[in-house]
Structure 1
Amino acid sequence: MDNFTAFYQTIGPALSLLVVITFLLAGAVKGVIGLGLPTIAMGLLGLAMPPAQAAALLIVPSTLTNVWQLATGGHLLALLRRLGPMLGAIFVGTLAGSAWLGISSGPWAAHGLGAALLVYAVYGLIGPQLRLATSREGWLGPLCGLVTGLVTAATGVFVMPAVPYLQSLGLSRDEMIQALGLSFTVSTVALALGLAGQDALGGEALGASLLMMAPALLGMLAGQWLRQRISAAVFKRCFFVGLAVLGGHLLLNG
């Protein structure tokens, strides 16, 4: 039990409360729009702790919520066949990036995290709706996967350019939700291995991450309830505006 609570005893009650609120909010966003848990968690926690520490906290909630997401929809085998090269490249890119770059605690780390969040937010707000020709998936999928892996290793954010690529494939809503779950699960597992290789994911960090499952799942349930009562499009727009502000702050101030 000490491994579960030692991290929170170390950081104190105020920062522990921020962590809990962050995962409640991140889970709620994921419940409404189907993504955003690790992005919100990295952005908000990046305001108060090194990105490597924030990334370690999101491993268990991100993995389990994304496995839950990819398990529903009935398109898993078809998506694995279609997206396999991209997913493999994400895994390789994340591990290679972790060995080469890693999520540093240096002065540039928070700036890099802010840049990644800002780029994603701007794309979400004004990015064009692309449609990729099937003939280009063979080379563009692995390339996007490799770049996504490198960005993941450096910042802990694994949405760019994987999300725009998946959105360009013309998938149905159910296929898209499963595809996002697949991509994010592979990214999270590879990130966990990369953090372990940097000695940033020991028993204490895993225990602290496991405790965040409860607020993340509670937030998801609240978000799913909220989704039936608000406009998902308006909520998504507010999410990206908030993410842009958060990313801009981290980019400028670290």
Structure 2
Amino acid sequence: MENNLLYICAVFALAGFVKGVTGMGLPTVAMALLGLVMPPLQAAALLVVPSLFTNVWQMLARRGLYEVWLRLRPMLLGVCGGTLVGGALFAQADGKGLLGIALVLYALLGLSTWRWQVRPGQESWLGPIVGAATGLLTGATGVFVIPAVPYLQALGLDKEELVQAMGLSFTVSTLALAVTLTTHGAWEPAAAGMSFAAQLPALAGLLLGERLRLLLKPALFRRCFFVTLFALGAHLSFSAA
């Protein structure tokens, strides 16, 4: 892992920058690029601290967190249960192929014009299903955006509520992933130390991305982001075949 130190720092700086611009994407970018040089389980261990730190930052950026927690609680409980099950099912698998497929699906959703709408009466039963599915993918790949992010976007939240909701969802997913990794022995001292070190370039990238957010064209940036994810996901899928 030490041989890839500069690469790891560059990956987290870039991932933090993407999160600063778009409000999401740190774990997705990090897992996609780290997955090129190491197994997903090892990459996920590096992800824990930078993801937790930046998502708590995002989650606490505005008031109203308790109300968001109450609304999303069914989904978040599903995330916790699904992550533990996913980690148990896929702990011994390489996971690169599944990670690649998850990235491709996420990229296709991001590039499409399809929009999902969830009615208030559906949240009580749909939230746990979405959370469990997200948790299964989190435990298997370390990526926790599918289907959680499309679901949150479908709730009709305003922009700031959505950013806070994603921060809360990603924080819970990161904690559940950390528990799963610890259970399966992947959270070792070397990985933990590297994960703590990786939060520095991630934070630097986050702050830079937040400063440049107003200067960039969000639509163009997001399109380039999803095209790149699609290419990385396709590469991981074919290399694992």
Structure 2 length normalisation: TM-score?
0.97
Amino acid corresponding to residue 188 of structure 2 in structure 1: G
Q: What is the match of residue 51 of structure 1?
A: 40
Moved over 3 A (4+): none
Q: 2:199 aligns with which of 202, 213, 216?
A: 213
1:18 equivalenced with 2:7 (yes/no): yes
| Separation in 1, partners of 2:188, 2:90 | 20
Q: What is the match of residue 31 of structure 1?
A: 20
Pairwise CA distance, 1:101: 2.3
Stretch deviating more after TM superposition (40-49 or 202-211): 202-211
Residues 151 and 158 of structure 1 are in contact (CA less than 8 Å); yes or no, is this contact kept in structure 2?
yes
Q: 1:156 aligns with which of 142, 155, 162?
A: 142
Q: 2:125 aligns with which of 139, 163, 186?
A: 139
Aligned ranges 1:102-251 → 2 under 5 Å: 102=91, 104-106=92-94, 109-251=95-237
Pairwise CA distance, 1:216: 0.2
| Residues 1:132 and 1:213: Cα distance change in structure 2 (over 3 Å) | same
| Separation in 1, partners of 2:116, 2:45 | 33
Partner SS for 1:38: helix
Pairwise CA distance, 1:105: 4.9
Stretch deviating more after TM superposition (28-37 or 198-207): 198-207
Amino acid corresponding to residue 101 of structure 1 in structure 2: F
| Separation in 2, partners of 1:24, 1:73 | 24
Q: What is the match of residue 78 of structure 2?
A: 89
Pairwise CA distance, 1:84: 0.4
Partner SS for 1:212: helix
How big is each residue's C-alpha offset from its partner over 1:3-30, in whole Å with a ceiling of 9 and x where there is no partner? Answer: xxxx52xxx2xx2111111001000000
The alignment-based identity, stated in percent, is 50
| Separation in 1, partners of 2:85, 2:23 | 28
How big is each residue's C-alpha offset from its partner over 1:143-186, in whole Å with a ceiling of 9 and x where there is no partner? Answer: 00000000100111100000000000000111000100011011
| Separation in 2, partners of 1:230, 1:160 | 26
Residues 50 and 105 of structure 1 are in contact (CA less than 8 Å); yes or no, is this contact kept in structure 2?
no
1:100 equivalenced with 2:109 (yes/no): no
How big is each residue's C-alpha offset from its partner over 1:34-64, in whole Å with a ceiling of 9 and x where there is no partner? Answer: 0000000000000001111100001000001
| Separation in 2, partners of 1:105, 1:214 | 30
| Separation in 2, partners of 1:29, 1:58 | 15
Q: Root-mean-square deviation (CA), in Å?
A: 1.0
Residues 42 and 54 of structure 1 are in contact (CA less than 8 Å); yes or no, is this contact kept in structure 2?
yes
How big is each residue's C-alpha offset from its partner over 1:61-83, in whole Å with a ceiling of 9 and x where there is no partner? Answer: 00010011111221211111110
Amino acid corresponding to residue 148 of structure 1 in structure 2: T
| Separation in 2, partners of 1:21, 1:55 | 16
Pairwise CA distance, 1:127: 4.7
| Separation in 2, partners of 1:158, 1:224 | 22
Segments of 5+ residues of structure 1 without an aligned counterpart are 1-6
Structure 1 length normalisation: TM-score?
0.92
| Separation in 1, partners of 2:126, 2:83 | 17
Pairwise CA distance, 1:97: 1.7
